[in-house]
Each structure stands twice: as C-alpha cells, then as structure tokens.
Amino acid sequence: MMFKISWRNVWRHKTRSLIVILAIAVGVWAGIFILGFYMGIMDQRIQDVIKTEVSHVQIHHKLFTQNYHPKFQIKNSRSILEDLNHDARVKRASGRNVSMVMIASANASSGVKLIGVNPDDESQVTVIKDKVLEGVYGFQNSNSIIVSRKLCDKLKLKLGSKVVVTMQSKSNELTADAFRVSGIYKTSNTKYDEATAFVQDEKLQTLLECDDYHEIAILLNSNDDLDPFTTYLSGKLPDKSVESWKDLVPGMRYMVETADQSLGIIMWIILLALVFGIINTMLMAVLERIREIGMLVAIGMSKIRVFFMIVLETVMLVSVGAPIGMLLGYIFITYFGSHGIDLSIVSEGMEEFGYATIVYPTLDFSSYIKVATQLVVLAIVSSIYPAWRTLQLKAIDAIRKI
C-alpha cells in the first residue's frame, strides 16, 4: 500500500514530476556520456602510446636512457629477442637502435630521435606502417629514411628529398650520412612526429659502430599480462632496464591513475546539482500536502512511516529518471563508440597533446554500476531533508489548518 501511495503521489503533479525526471535523465545521460567520452580519449591515448610510440614493455641497457649514448647497447640482444618471440605472452618483439641526431635539409635542421628498425619486425609491434601517407613503410635502400609530415613541413621536405643526418658514434666520433625520404607518416601525436624518424637498423648500427640493439620493444597479446610480464622479465634480466609503458610514459600513468578520481568528481558535481533540484521538488510536494500528512499522523500513521513514504517517493522519482538517463548514455556511447566523434575542428590542439581527433567513447560495465550506486546515494540524500521536515510536523498544527 505504501508503494502504491508513493507511486501515485509521484504522478499527482505529472508536469512537475516529468520535468524532474527529465532533469535527472539528462543529468545522468550527460554524466555517463562525459565519462564515456573521457574514457574514450584516455583509452585511445593509451592505445596510441602502446601501439605507436612505446609498445607494452621496453628493454634497455640500464644507463641508456640517461643520455642515449650508443655505447649502452643491450648485451646479447639478439638471443633475448629470439627468446621473447617464442614466449606465448608476446605478440612480437622488435629490436631497435636509437640515436639522438641532427637532421638537416637544404632549408633547415632539427634534432630528432632516429630509430633504426627492421620493418618486418617493427610492423608487427607498432602501427607506424599504417600511418604512412606517402611512399612506403620500408627502405628501398640503406639510405632511405621515413619522416613525419610535421618534420617535412618544418624542414620543407617531400618524398625523395635529401637530408643529412649527423650523430655521435659509439667511439664518440661525429659521423654523418645522407638519406632520401622514402616514406612520410603522420600519427595523432604531433610532438612525437616532430621528433621521430626511422631508418634501417643495420644502417644505423653501422653508423653508430654498434653490433647490438639499444632497445627491444615488446607488444604483448593481452594488456592483462602487462604487470606480471614486466615483473617476470625484470627478474629474468636483472642487469637490464625493463620498463612497462607506465614507467616509460609516467605522465600517462598518472592520468590513468587519477582518471577515476577526476571522473568521480565530475559525476558528483552533476549529481549534486540534481540533488538540489530533487530536494526543491520534494520539499514543494511535502509542503503542499502538509494537511494531508498531518491527517495521516492524526489518524494513526507513525511519523517513521510518513518519513519512509517521502523517501520512497523520492527514490521512485530518481528510479524513473535514472534508468532513462543510463539507457540514453549507453545508446550514445554505443553509437559513438563505433562511429566516433569527429573533433577535427580542434585537431591541431588535440594532436599537439597527443590525442586523436576522432574520439570513440567507451565505458565499462563497472562504471555503469558505479554510476547506479551513486544514483542510489543521490536518491537517499535528496529525500532526507524533505522527509525530515515531515518528522518536524505536529499533527495538531496540521489539523488546525484543516
């Protein structure tokens, strides 16, 4: 009976209730969509970091990343690489030589990170091959170089242009060679693009006077293996530096770690705004029924029951609006999750910070559960003040008004 009365009371003023339900639905939808949008951006950024920039795990000489000196090679890198490529958890591992070089065209020069790769291995570890806009991802000869569109613009290069690359060799000698642009790529991270170029690994080894790799990049079959595999490899190669992308790009790790808190705060702000709206409506509903509530107390309904009735009405109001909002949020996230949201109008700004211009919102099931839990709290919190007002009511005061 209490449920029946509460439910019918909710619909006593249809327009008012519908407006509140709509506000709750829109608030929840907006909250969920913002969460999905933010998670989509984060997810893509992580995928870009893994698949384009650093892969899941990297191995270096312990001192290599301090100054990128060519002498800090990974001892026995080829046998390590072979072992890794036989590990079931590893999708593919690729050896790289890395050097900080000066690249000069006829018009300008720039400092870049030159990576020597084996295109066959590398194409299975990173997606740079798919990002090639002009030319090919491969080296027609040992003096071919793949540069980014951004670097081309900066150095005024085009396919076939000649550049001179100067670097420090293992024996600290300055060495240089000329390369021709054989491929132009573009990722969603302009900072990365501007500072990264690729040449054949054997060619770079020759120039640097190296016989081992400086870096082994490992792409795993599953993200879930990341932490256990990194720990395993660190134990297996104690004299090497084994780092996951979380250590290699710490800023990204902090972003992921704080994402939950940031999103939680955003959601609570939205819910807080809804709380005030609901309190206002319920307070109005209670105050205009003060005589009726007084009569209920007068004829023998306990105040606790009246309190419960108001809580129930509020919960019902939220229970109608919230699922609509969650469903709308789910539909929007599912639709845009497959079609994407094109933010190319602000592409330069997005890419400057390494974010893709097409965002695919995504939200896992646990986030929906979290939002649903927050909504339950919202409903209860919103009901407390209006319901508390009924506890303050003296039946006699209400009766005098009858």
Partner 1 sequence: MKNVIETKNLCKTYEGVIPIHAVNDVDLQIQDDEFTAIVGPSGSGKSTLLNLIGGLDHPTSGEVIVNGHDLSEFSESKLIDYRLYHIGFVFQAYNLIPVLTVRENIEFIMMLQKRKKEDIKNRIHELLEEVDLLDKINKRPSELSGGQQQRVAVARALATKPEFVLADEPTANLDSKSASNLLDTMERLNKEESITFIFSTHDQRVIDRARRVVTLEDGKIISDVQK
Which residue ranges make up the site for partner 1 (CB under 8 A)? Answer: 1, 4-5, 8-9, 12, 291-292, 295-303, 305, 395-396, 399-400, 402
Among residues 345 and 402, whose Cβ is nearest to partner 1? 402
155 or 316: whose CB is closer to partner 1?
Answer: 316
CA atoms within 13 A on the CB side of 54: 18
Rounded Cα distance between 237 and 81, Å, is 12
Instruction: Output 62 or 305, the one with its CB closest to partner 1.
Output: 305
Q: How far is the CB of 334 from partner 1 (least distance, A)?
A: 38
Smaller CB separation from partner 1, 156 or 400: 400
Query: What would the DSSP string read from start to end of 335-379?
Result: HHHHH-EE-GGGHHHHHHTT--SEE-----HHHHHHHHHHHHHHH
What angle, rounded to 10 degrees, do the helices at 250-288 and 14-48 form? 180
Q: Which residue in 357, 354, 362 sits closest to 54, CA to CA?
A: 354
Q: Determine how β-strand 174-185 pairs with β-strand 144-148.
A: parallel
CA 179/CA 92 separation, integer angstroms: 28
Nearest approach in angstroms of CB 9 to partner 1 is 6
Asked if 180 contacts 165 with a C-beta cutoff of 8 angstroms, the reply is: no
Map tokens 């619909």 to a residue. 11
Helix, strand, or coil here: 195? Answer: coil
Q: Which is nearer to partner 1, 266 or 301 (CB)?
A: 301
Q: Residue 57's beta-bridge partner residues?
A: 218, 244
For residue 351, the minimal CB distance to partner 1 (Å) is: 58
Shortest distance in whole angstroms from residue 325 CB to partner 1: 26
The SS3 assignment for 87 reads coil
CB of 301 to partner 1, least distance (A): 6
Looking at the Cβ atoms of 13 and 370, the one nearer to partner 1 is: 13
DSSP state of 50: I
- To partner 1, the closest distance from the beta carbon of 296 in angstroms equals 8
Q: Helix, strand or coil for residue 242?
A: strand
Residues 55 and 127: their CA atoms lie apart, in Å, by 10
Angle 258-262-263 from CA coordinates, rounded to 5°: 115
Comparison of 83 and 292: residue with beta carbon closer to partner 1: 292
Using the minimum distance from each CB to partner 1, give the nearer residue, 102 or 395: 395
Q: Which amino acid is present at 113?
A: K
Write down the least CB distance from residue 311 to partner 1, Å.
17
Cβ distance to partner 1 smaller for residue 10 or 57: 10
DSSP class per residue in 53-84: II-SEEEEETTHHHH--TT---TTHHHHHHHH
- Smallest distance from the beta carbon of 12 to partner 1, in angstroms? 6
How many Å apart are CA 125 and CA 52, to the nearest integer? 8
**CA–CA distance, 242 with 386 (Å, rounded to integer):** 59
Return the number of the residue (91 or 303) whose C-beta is nearest partner 1: 303
Min. distance of Cβ 343 from partner 1 in angstroms?
49
| Smallest distance, partner 1 to C-beta of residue 285, A | 12
Task: Take residue 68 and report the two structure tokens written for it.
Answer: 């990128």
